[in-house]
Amino acid sequence: MNPSQEFRLTGIDSLEDIERALGTIHGHREYGLAVSAGNLNKRRGSLRDAAYLQALLTWSRLNPDAALNVGGGSEQSDSEILDEACGYSIGIAAMSVSGSVKVRGESVARQLALVGAKSRIEAAYQGDYASLVRGRTIDLLSVSGASRQFLKPLFNGPSPRQVKDKFDLKSTIRGLAMRAAPSSTDLDEGTLSSLATLTHELFENTQDHAIADERGQVYRRHVELLNVGWITSSEEDAKGDFYGNETLREYWEAISSCQTGRDRVSGLCFNFLDSGPGMAARLLGKPLFQMTEKEEASALRQCLRMHVTSKSNHATGLGLNAVLSEIAQAAGFVRIRSGRQAIFKCFLPGESSQVQNLDFENWFGPERGLLRVAGTLVSIFIPLPRPTV
């Protein structure tokens, strides 16, 4: 690799844009990445933000030694550029996992590059939600090796074995939701409890399965993210997010017609992201290039089947089943992006709450092949106010 070679990502404002960006990332996997601090600090909505970070993590996994070159305006100093990049979890995570960091083409020590992140990392560790919320999105970012890796809102102590139980996490979920949107008071106790159970299981599983690759080799660095955001989707937004699949289009139109203002859908989105090997690779113990897409799709659905099977130890596996039941009653959806798969399950208003967990469809349509991503992103959307039949 020529260290002077790099590429840029621009015009990323939808899930469709992010998928196209993944094509650029894979096509330039031997290059460094140049990105503006403003791009890293931009809020696109919580679901898109998590998906964009997953794309950046994919670049770092494809080329773990490449440099992230952060740029800014001509009137900005280098420290101002880095401070802007550290204003949101996307920039902090990207600079944490990249092979090295540059500012305007000049190398800078990672520790110095992340100085501006200290206050945000401390706020996340302490659960100071007022300092974390920006617009209508709030996030909790965990970076391996950091002195504040095990955040107090999620862990009882500085150990991967001390993930809070679902009862303690219920207050965390409630606090995050309330900060993202005052109307989240409409979330009932059942929804909060199911989200807390899922949070417990996902973070507990991450400590076991997402810190190393499919062969068991521990990653040099890894990240975990939980973000919660109030999102609204206009008809124009929907074209880049929901219109790749006829079921999704029907869902968006049904929710839009039930909510106030027929041209938008609004609600809370909970996103859980890790930078591990992905669900199928983790289950089968081999990289994606050694399996067919059919084999991968089958393995992913097997993971979901495992998630909904009751087990004796710590009730592992009940989280997805519980949250799907609540999503059904709320007319929401769950989306999973892992490996070369982007699958979802949505529920129309008035639809039976009986959950068929393996009945997931492809987000971008049945015929479209996707490039692989790093880790797993699980997104839960709850429309608010709840649509009426």
According to the model, what pLDDT value does residue 77 have? 96
According to the model, what pLDDT value does residue 4 have? 65
User: What band does 259 get if pLDDT is binned at 50, 70 and 90?
Assistant: confident
Residue 19 reports pLDDT greater than 90? yes
8 A C-beta contact, residue 343 and residue 360: yes
User: What band does 216 get if pLDDT is binned at 50, 70 and 90?
Assistant: confident
pTM of the complete model:
0.94
Top-ranked range on mean pLDDT: pick from 107-116, 182-191, 238-247: 107-116
The pLDDT of 50-75, averaged and rounded, is: 96
Pick the CATH number of 166-383 from 3.30.70, 3.90.1570, 3.30.565, 1.10.3470: 3.30.565
Residue 174 reports pLDDT greater than 60? yes
Residue 310 reports pLDDT greater than 50? no
Domain boundaries, the chain: 6-117, 166-383
According to the model, what pLDDT value does residue 311 have? 39
According to the model, what pLDDT value does residue 262 have? 62
User: What band does 3 get if pLDDT is binned at 50, 70 and 90?
Assistant: low
Half-sphere exposure (Cβ direction) of 38: Cα atoms closer than 13 Å: 6
